[in-house]
Amino acid sequence: MELCLYHPQHGYYMQEQPRTGTTGDYFTSSDLHPIFARLVARQAAEMWEILGRSSRFTWVEMGASRGLFAVDFLRWAAKARPDFCAALEYLVIEPGPRTRARLLNRIAKENFRGRFRALASLEELEPVIGCFFSNELIDAFPVHVVTRSAGRLKEIYVAAEDDNLREKLGPLSESAVAADVARYANQLEEGCRAEVNRRAVQWISTVAEKLARGFVLTIDYGDLAEFLYTPARPRGTLVAYRGHTVSEDFYSAPGEQDLTAHVNFTALMDAGKQAGLDAVGFTTQERFLMALGEVNGFADLDEPGQTEAERLDARLRLKRLIFPGDFEGARGMGTIFKVLVQSRNVDRPQLTGLKFARRDPSLRSG
């Protein structure tokens, strides 16, 4: 999975082809409508206010892809909140040099007068005051896949045999994998599979180190461990996306399709707590966006000079962002996607986006 997604030359995320949108392999929330970034920007401006309107507020977007979110976020900030925009430093973390170059070129065309930077990794960043943001990032971190065979826990490896890639059972590669299974998936039944995302634990620890004061806002599909590791998912959650089609054919097109697995948000909260982060709230994308949008009746959906047909199309796109389950033949994002907010050195923050969230982060998001 590491090689298929991140190989410097052949990795899926390191190549030039479009990954999202109509011509890509899947849609993200930013592909659907600018209102996604506009509402998140509203939440960012409130975070800045909670932090005392600091002279510099650094927004770190990890996995910026084509830059759609960044452009929509910055346009809203410049127009709706120039005071916030004046303090804003927008920073993207992208490992691919070609992707970073495209992002910088795209922002340059926007004539954004604020501070914008693109770095290859978090390690290059000094601790900041602000917010670390990701949308559909952690689901693409490489995972260990484990199963129970003859009553014993085994790891599923990938072997090359006769010019084909095949699965092969073997002992667990790390003791930490066994510890995670015991902690989060101890009811794994014979023949069933589960994923362990050790990279996510390492990532949140690094993020915590780079956050002097502020927030971590993580949006991704997944759930709490008790709802993620169940008999209802005997094959686990690892899937491939290609041409807007989902499959479990992981090995047919290395580097040419996306590979993703649901995020264990319980593990993310536990690792964050160990690293000094407080869990502020956990909710669904539906509840998060509804709370932010109801403040002004979703006026951020409107564009100057829109026709009635364009207004209707915008409302339909908004419904897909917040609607639970499938919507008009397409995957709805409202309840599949979860929102986790963590903080550091912030005393009991009250965020508008968490207005409809369960107050105890250990409770189910729905």
- Which pLDDT does position 366 carry in this prediction? 41
Cβ(287)–Cβ(359) below 8 Å? no
Q: At what angle do helices 308-322 and 285-293 cross, to 10 degrees?
A: 140
How large is the C-alpha radius of gyration of the chain? 20
CB-CB contact of 146 with 190 (8 Å): no
pLDDT in the model for residue 358: 65
What is residue 9's DSSP assignment? Answer: T
Q: Where in the chain is the domain with CATH 3.40.50.12710?
A: 2-141+197-243+259-354
Q: Where are the beta strands (DSSP E) in 50-114?
A: 57-62, 88-93
pLDDT of residue 327: 38
Instruction: Return the pLDDT at 306.
Output: 72
- Whole-angstrom Cα distance, residue 11 to residue 361? 36
Q: At what angle do helices 68-80 and 35-50 cross, to 10 degrees?
A: 60
Q: Which two tokens stand for residue 342?
A: 């963590």
Distance CA 191, CA 213 (A): 45
Structure tokens at 260: 């993703």
User: Which letter, b or e, does each residue of 228-247 get, where b requires 16 or more Cβ atoms within 10 Å of its Cβ?
Assistant: bbbeeeeebbbbbbbeeeee
Per-residue pLDDT tens over the stretch 19-46: 776 666 667 777 777 899 999 999 999 9
Residue 14, beta-bridge partner list: none
Locate 294 and state its tokens: 């109801």
The predicted pLDDT at position 72 comes to 94
Among residues 186, 222, 334, 201, the alpha carbon closest in space to that of 269 is found at 201
Sequence-distant contacts of 163-169: CB under 8 A, at least 24 apart:
164/251, 165/251, 165/254, 166/251
Pair 16, 97: CB distance under 8 Å: no
Q: How far apart are CA 92 and CA 353, in angstroms?
A: 23
Distance CA 215, CA 47 (A): 8
Helices (H), 258-339: 265-274, 285-293, 308-322
What is the predicted pLDDT for the residue at 13? Answer: 86
Which residue stretches of the chain have pLDDT < 70? 21-26, 323-334, 358-366
| Architecture, CATH, for domain 2-141+197-243+259-354 | 3-Layer(aba) Sandwich (3.40)
